[in-house]
Each structure stands twice: as C-alpha cells, then as structure tokens.
Structure 1
C-alpha cells in the first residue's frame, strides 16, 4: 500500500500529526509519499516526489487538516481517480472521518487494505455569463450577494419548470455530502450520503416560510438572478473558485457523471459523525 499524505501546514498541529501518521503507516508496512515543497521537514523513510508523480504512484491519499483540506484536494483525487481519507484537525470534520485519537487503529487498517470506498456524487455547475464555464462541487454550489444590503431576486427552475420565485441573500445547491455543511446552517435537511439528490436552500430568505427543496439527482436545476443592478453577485463551488455572475445571468446545476471516493471503515461513519459532532455525544 502506497499512501500520499497532504498536510495543511497552516494548521498548528499538522506537521506533528503528519509525522505521527508516517510512523503508524510505516509500522503497518505502508510506503509513504510527501510532495516536494510540502513544508514538512524531512521524515525518515518518506519518499518526496513531485505532486503529479505522487498522485500517479499512490493507492490512497490522506489529508491532514479539516474538511476544507479535503475539498481542496478532491479535484486532484478526481483527476487521478484516487480515494481520499481525511485526518481531522478542524472543528467539525464530516468528511475527515479519522480523528487524531483514531489514527493508530484506522491507519493500520488502511495500510493493510481493510477499508471500503464510499462513492459520493458531485455536481456540475454551468455558469452562463458572458462566457460559459463549468465548475464541479462535492459539497455545494453557492450563489450569493456582495456587501450591499439589498436582497436578490431568484427564479428557481427544475427541468425548465418554474418552481420558486424568492428573495434573499443567496441560494445554496448542495449534494447529500454537503447537506451537513452550509446547507444545514441555512435550515436545509440532512440527507443520507448514499442518496442521490440535490438540495436547494435559501440564504436568509425574505419570507416567513421558505423551506428547502429536495430534487431527484437526474433533474437540472436552473437559478436565474435579478439583482436590479444594485449588487455584485458571486458564485462559488465548495467555497473556492469564486467568480462574478452578471445581473441577469443564470446557473444550471446537475449531477456530474463523475464521483469521488472517500475511504470509510464503517457504513455508519456519516451517522456516527453527525451523532458525535452535531449532538455532542
């Protein structure tokens, strides 16, 4: 088993935890790779390779950080078709399912191949602005206003049928994986990650009753924006790739043909994380 570790060295404990992970993996018989320039001091027995070569040669990618580190790394894992396991140094960590105190047990099992891969659906967002371009999201696609105070008017279509007209600060279109992220904060439901569905939630809706909507994954969700020239409108995927969306522009969101593989050691990992991290048990 060859493991490529990607630490987020902006996290205070990342270097220490990376060194600890290397020792556990080595003792379990795994080969460990770090990228050249990864800002981690030379560790004994670790191969330092260019990032592209590391992705090519590894069997599994481990991130050391939080969910944001996984989301940032996921696109490379998608390109090279590698499964990913996150060691959680963040606050919540619904994607990073290995806590520091679980490393000995889980990394030993990983090195011995005693794990499963959980396929998670992705969304494609086609932004129809002056030039059309596509973005991919594991968690969510978010359309939101800039710093001014006025609300934005949105038309929401499902397969070209108008299903909602609303005003607010923005719209979140999330996957089941992302249902425990920003969507949850906006009042959206928690979906089983094995369900293929699309959740649409308003951000600070200017309405007394504006429930989230859940659509089948084979639907095409279209969001039309009318800011009336008063606001800058932005779109981002997974908290990255932020870009401006002109007034009158629209975004079409649909299921991607690709999926990402997350390493799991139990079919109940998602629900265990919800129980521990949301309910504090």
Structure 2
C-alpha cells in the first residue's frame, strides 16, 4: 500500500504562538490534487484557512493517519502525547530553536512532503513514561521526555524513597529528581549531570538534581522495571512536572509509580544519517566535548564549502 493511501487524513498540530501560516499553505498546496484531507483541532480554528477542517481533540486523535507538528520540540512532544494511545507517523517542522525531534526546517517542507507521498521515509520509534500517583490529584499522566519531582517552593528538599519492582533500594534528598526516557536524556537529565542514553536503548534514567544525601548519582534501569518514588515524611511539598508541564502536587505519603512504554510514538525520519549528524551538532552546542577535527566534521558539507570559498576569496 502506498504512503498516500495510508495518509488519507493528515492532522496538523500547531505551536500556540509561532507564525506557521507559510507551512500550512505549503501543506495545502502539496495535497491539493491528492485524495488527502487536512484536519486540525478546534482550538486552532482562528489561525487556519477554511480549507482546513477542525474537530475536537478526541475526534482528531481518532481520525488522523499521520501528523505534521509545526513548532519546536515542545510541539512535537505534545503531538506525540496526543497520539500515545494510537501511534501514527509524525513529521516535525522546526519553527523553534534546537529541535532534536523535529526533522525539517520550513524551507525544506515541500521536498519532505513529496518524499512522504512517495513513501520515502523511515519511522523512528520512541518510548514514553506512564506515571501514576497514589494519593495525589493526578490519576495517570504520560510523557516522552521526563517526569520531574521538584520543590514546590524554594525551601526544603525533595525527599523520596526509591522502589524498583517493589524492592526498596535507597532514597533521594535533593532539589529535584528526574526520571527520563532516552529521548529526554538530553534535556533536564543531561543538565543535571546525567548520562545521554542512545535513542535505541530500552532504558530509563533517574538523576538527582543537587543531591544533599542518599543516592547521589544517576541510575539507569531497564524498560521493564517499575519505578516507584514514595514521598517521605521529611519532604517539602513536591511539584510534579511531566514534559515540563505542571501535572500534580505530591505530599508526604504519596507514591508516584512510573513505567516505560515501548513504541509509544512514531517519528518520521527522512535520513537517519543526516538526523544523527544534526543531533551531534546540537549536542555540541550543549557543551558535549568534541575534538577540533570533529567539529569540522559536524559542519554540513554545503556550509563547509561556503567557508572554504570565502577563505579562498580573502586569500586572493
């Protein structure tokens, strides 16, 4: 079956503030003579032309065969969460900054859409974290980057006991505790000194932020491990964030249980090699140590040629 046949309905997920109209017009132009319906959510109605139909979120998630996320990594994460119970291919168009998840820049979108129509792409599968809190107002939450337990105020410390598969392993006393997926390992986990996990790994990493006592290093666990963090009696009130969004408040006696869910999202890749190269550049911007000759390798060939030509003109 062709990619076009599979993509009968393409959904749009828009950044809430960025100007993405040019990308929307490029998408409409690409499907104008094809049997493809473009659908969006009612919340974006005012920002879309009449050619794009809108429906409630639940209907949107049930009807789309693929998504195009117009924004940055936050928009991609939102699109992935929206489809976590029914994964479909998601193409990210980077209207943001670093964009680890987004695949193309807006000028590259028409060519990317042609490749999608031809079926010339691969799928990169991503795991997510399902979180369930006992005793808090959150029943179940889901994220693709991380689950963070942080101090709700500037005083005190997060104090939680770590249980893995119902076995107690120790405790954390820190400013925050981060539970991250391989995708999220380059975010808060990395900033806190945790390791970068390969996107292909089936693992989760737990990293304390500014630990005061207890477990002071990052711990890497398997995808099948059930992780429970029980809030201790001496803990400050805890703000629970999932993918950077406030989700619940935890107090002593509450228990947060997390489990990695494999293959919870499908991200479109047009070239795995090019994506890996771009990711290396972005990680180098985050202070990942590389040698000088490696820095040259990270520069895209077309930019390398421009620099070489500019140097030649100056020397002439």
Q: Which runs of 5+ in 1 are unaligned?
A: none
SS in 1 for 2:110: helix
Cα pair distance change 1:84/1:167, threshold 3 Å: same
Task: Provide the C-alpha distance between the structure 1 equivalents of 2:87 and 2:227, rounded to a whole number of angstroms.
Answer: 27
Task: Provide the C-alpha distance between the structure 2 equivalents of 1:221 and 1:208, rounded to a whole number of angstroms.
Answer: 17
Indicate the residue corresponding to 2:223 in structure 1. 217
Indicate the residue corresponding to 1:253 in structure 2. 258
Matches within 5 A, 1:104-143: 104-129=110-135, 133-143=139-149
Question: How much does 1:84 deviate?
Answer: 1.3
Task: Provide the C-alpha distance between the structure 1 equivalents of 2:214 and 2:162, rounded to a whole number of angstroms.
Answer: 18
Indicate the residue corresponding to 1:243 in structure 2. 248
| Alignment length (residue pairs) | 277
Q: Which runs of 5+ in 2 are unaligned?
A: 286-297, 299-316
Q: Could you state the TM-score of these two structures normalised by the residue count of structure 1?
A: 0.86
Higher strand proportion (structure 1 or 2):
1
1:169 aligns with 2:179: no
Question: How much does 1:174 deviate?
Answer: 0.8
Deviating more after overlay: 110-119 vs 269-278: 269-278
Question: How much does 1:54 deviate?
Answer: 4.4
Task: Provide the C-alpha distance between the structure 2 equivalents of 1:244 and 1:37, rounded to a whole number of angstroms.
Answer: 27
Of residues 250, 265, 272 in structure 1, which corresponds to 2:270?
265
Higher helix proportion (structure 1 or 2):
2
The structure with the larger Rg is 2
Q: Please give the root-mean-square deviation of Cα atoms over the aligned residues, in Å.
A: 2.7
Task: Provide the C-alpha distance between the structure 2 equivalents of 1:121 and 1:260, rounded to a whole number of angstroms.
Answer: 7
Of residues 267, 281, 285 in structure 2, which corresponds to 1:276?
281
Indicate the residue corresponding to 1:193 in structure 2. 199
Indicate the residue corresponding to 2:13 in structure 1. 6
Question: How much does 1:57 deviate?
Answer: 4.0
Cα pair distance change 1:195/1:158, threshold 3 Å: same
Question: How much does 1:10 deviate?
Answer: 0.5
Matches within 5 A, 1:65-84: 65-84=71-90
Q: Could you state the TM-score of these two structures normalised by the residue count of structure 2?
A: 0.77
Kept after mapping to 2: 8 A contact 1:97/1:273: no
Superposed CA offset, 1:9-41 (max 9, x none): 401x32233223433454788543344452324
Deviating more after overlay: 171-180 vs 235-244: 235-244
SS in 1 for 2:76: helix
